[in-house]
Amino acid sequence: MRRTLSLLAATAAIAFVAPLAALAEPVHGLSMHGTPALPADFKSFPYANPDAPKGGKITYCVIGSFDNLNPFIIKSLRTTARGMVDVIYGNLVFESLMQRSADEAFSIYGLTAKSVDIDPERKWIEFNLDPDAKWSDGKEITPDDVIFTYEVFTEKGRPPYSDRMSKIEKIEKTGDRSVRFTFNDKADREFPLIVALTPIVPKHAFSKDTFDQTTLKPIIGSGPYTVAEVKPGERIVFKRNPEYWARDIPSKRGFDNYDQITIEYFLNAAAQFEAFKKGLCDTFVEADPVKRERGFDFPAYKNGDIVAETFKSGLPPVVTGFMFNTRLPKFANPVVRQALGMLYDFEWANRNLFSGKYERTVSYWQGTELSAYGVPASDKEKALLAPFPDTVRPEVMDGTWRPPVTDGSGQDRKVLKAAFDLFKSAGYTLQGGKMLDSEAKPFAFEVLTSSEAEQRLAAIYQRTLEKLGIAVTIRALEADQIQSRKQAFEFDSLIGVTGFSGTLSPGIEQIGRWGSSSAQKEGSFNLAGVSSPAVDAMIDAMLKAREKEDFVAAVRALDRLLISGSYMVPMQHNSEQWIAFAKRLKHPEKTPIFGYQLPVWWSQGG
């Protein structure tokens, strides 16, 4: 009898708790740390103009080619048309459940999902779909579409989309317009936000059997634009959908203001710039301040038809440089990579190519509280790194490390000697003007470049390396050829590495860039082939951090490991965002911390 009563009591307790959980208050937004900055009744993002006029056209010009419209498959990494899912021009065709704010480190707000319920421990999240959410063909967006997306991405998608089910225990349709994700032990506190930002595809418009095949047929999405014209490799035209369901919701108010967006493709930067000068392109970004001074003397700029502005962002600089493929034996030794890192003559390059207007890039989160540069390791960092002795160089650990500073002559002997001493310690000798390994094989490698600017930088590096008997070959390839090489990891070294944009909220993407699990995975962004238990542990600690100080400690520790590992030779950066554009284009007054946002610009008079 007592046992029966106990069971009845337990059942009653469960029945009592379940409704309370079901009645948990849905939230309008989520933040990685803390709470979102905007209240539930916000009208628009602060960097968008909710009264921006609609209409007109814009043409963007890019370098490369395309022969596919599906951005979610392996074959798309080299040849997908821009704009389908695009961090620069906006997600024109495909959208996610929630929308990221460009004015917060990492906060997201309702889009396809009007609100969410989430476990305080972030073990599950339930998305409540907006009842007005529709695909471009007018059909409703349903939980079945969300479930199908994860099924087809897992079976036929590309990284990182194909990997996401590995952290999901189950996906359930919990109502006509609600879907719940329950996570397994592999998931971290950021993962619910990643799920919320995953683009969703329509079940009725795709077949699992053919999903991994390239296509040039316009694809149905839920975004503000539809594909109106496709000229493979040359042009894609998007038309604004007048029935776009989300045009008046807060996270999209003031966005998507052009009636038509055209993206034109060019083979190289020179052709792209000539097209801009002739008025064929409406925007042009030039990171090189010297080129701005010397190149912008054409009639349209002089007479004011083209204007230029400089914007400030609150992000760390984009890290570019010479990336070594550490899968190759020649780059496997970190001491060798450290020596190679000493031989980029920044001082000569900055004086002769950039008129002294650049800064040396030394950290992956430079200029922010996440950077380890010049900062001694805290007790929390030391505790995180303690299981991995000797993975961080002492001078990086105590904050005294600085990159070598040359005299700018291009042949500073003290730097050359210091680098040579490291090669000697790694078993190399200099004989007959050649750097030889322990088996008397010459040390040589190839650098891939895709522009004249990259070739000049590679030539500077080549000249210095040759002084130590290292033979460097520079090979110029088209951008799409280099992308293909990246995908298959078929390179010695690359310059102008993409996929390393600065962020104040590093998260799961760091696994794809530096994690061991992505080192051999075709199509990943781990171009260097980093496979380090210490790096993996710091990324894991970063993703699990609840408090900000724990998060900062984990990112700084990761920064120390990446600096010590010398996986790439960071070059230089200019922290300004500079863009030239047609004078009819206008933008909001406020610049968010992510810098200017083209999707909230508009055309004034055509």
Helices of type H across 426-478: 452-466
- Tallying the residues shown for the chain, one arrives at 606
Mean pLDDT of 388-404: 97
CA atoms within a 13 Å half-sphere pointing along the CA-CB vector of 404? 23
Strand, coil or helix: 8: helix
569 CB-contact burial (10 Å; exposed 0-12 / middle 13-18 / buried 19+): buried
pLDDT of amino acid 211: 96
- pLDDT computed for residue 605 by the predictor: 80
Q: Which residue is associated with the tokens 């961090």?
A: 87
For residues 517 and 508, is the Cβ–Cβ distance under 8 A? no
Buried residues in 387-417 as b, exposed as e (16+ CB within 10 A): ebeebbbeebbeeebebbebeeebebeebbe
The two tokens of residue 163 are 């990997």
Burial class (CB in 10 A: 0-12, 13-18, 19+), 477: middle
Pick the CATH number of 320-573 from 3.90.226.10, 3.40.50.300, 3.40.1350.10, 3.10.105.10: 3.10.105.10
Q: What percent of the chain has pLDDT over 90?
A: 80
**Residue 78 pLDDT:** 57
pLDDT beyond 50 at 19:
no
Higher pLDDT, residue 144 or 20: 144
Q: Is the pLDDT of residue 4 over 70?
A: no
Cα distance between residue 162 and residue 72, in whole Å: 9
Quote the DSSP letter at residue 287. Answer: -
Q: How confident is the model over 546-574, as a mean pLDDT?
A: 94
Give me the helix-helix angle, 334-341 and 548-565, nearest 10°: 90
11 pLDDT more than 80:
no
Q: What is the pLDDT of residue 501?
A: 59
Q: How confident is the model at residue 34 (pLDDT cuts 50, 70, 90)?
A: confident
**Is the pLDDT at 427 greater than 90, yes or no?**
yes
* Three-state DSSP state, 311: strand
pLDDT of residue 47 exceeding 80:
yes
Cα(128)–Cα(126) distance, rounded to whole angstroms? Answer: 7
Mean of pLDDT over the chain: 91
Question: Are 445 and 493 a contacting pair, CB within 8 Å?
Answer: yes
For tokens 């038309």, the residue is 239
What Rg value do the Cα atoms of the chain yield, rounded? Answer: 26
Helix (H, G, I), strand (E, B) or coil at 399: coil
Summarised one tens digit per residue, pLDDT across range 117-158 is: 999 999 999 999 999 999 999 999 999 999 999 999 999 999
Helix (H, G, I), strand (E, B) or coil at 506: coil
Query: How many H-runs (helices) and E-runs (strands) does the chain carry?
Result: 17, 25
Grade residue 76 by pLDDT with cuts at 50, 70 and 90.
low
| pLDDT, tens digit, 9 for 90 and up, residues 186-235 | 998 999 999 999 999 999 999 999 999 999 999 999 999 999 999 999 99
Residues 6+ apart with CB under 8 A from 453: 269, 288
DSSP class of 341:
H
Both structure tokens of 224: 């503000």
Q: Strand 57-63 vs strand 260-266: parallel, antiparallel, or unpaired?
A: parallel
Pairwise CA distance, residues 474 & 466, whole Å: 13
Helices in 157-248 by DSSP H: which ranges? Answer: 191-196
What pLDDT digit, counting tens, does each position of 481-504 carry?
888 899 899 999 998 654 455 788
| Higher pLDDT among residues 157 and 606, named by residue | 157
Average pLDDT over residues 49-65: 96
Q: What is the mean pLDDT of residues 327-346?
A: 97
Higher pLDDT, 526 or 25: 526
Highest mean pLDDT among 28-37, 306-315, 384-393, 504-513: 384-393
Residue 331: Cβ-neighbour burial (10 angstroms; 0-12, 13-18, 19+)? buried
Tell me the pLDDT tens digit for each residue of 510-522.
999 999 999 999 8
Q: Which residues, in sequence order, are CB contacts of 198 under 8 Å at separation 6+?
A: 96, 97, 149, 150, 153, 161, 164
**Confidence at 9, pLDDT banded by 50, 70, 90:** very low
Q: Residue 459: pLDDT band by 50, 70, 90 thresholds?
A: very high
Cα–Cα nearest to 202, from 107, 260, 138, 157:
138
Question: What is the rounded distance in angstroms from the CA atom of residue 605 to the CA atom of residue 43?
Answer: 26
Provide the pairing of β-strand 113-118 with 107-110: unpaired
pLDDT digits (tens, 9 = 90+) for 582-600: 999 999 999 999 999 999 9
Q: Where are the domains of the chain?
A: 320-573
Check residue 176 and report its DSSP letter.
T
- DSSP-based three-state secondary structure for 573: strand
Hey, which residues does 303 pair with through a beta bridge? none
Sign of CA dihedral 529, 535, 536, 538: negative
Using the structure block, give the residue that is written with the tokens 């760390």.
316
Q: Which amino acid is at 142?
A: T
Closest CA to 115 of 17, 37, 27: 27
Confidence of residue 24 (pLDDT cuts 50, 70, 90): low
Rounded distance between C-alpha atoms, residue 272 and residue 274, angstroms: 6
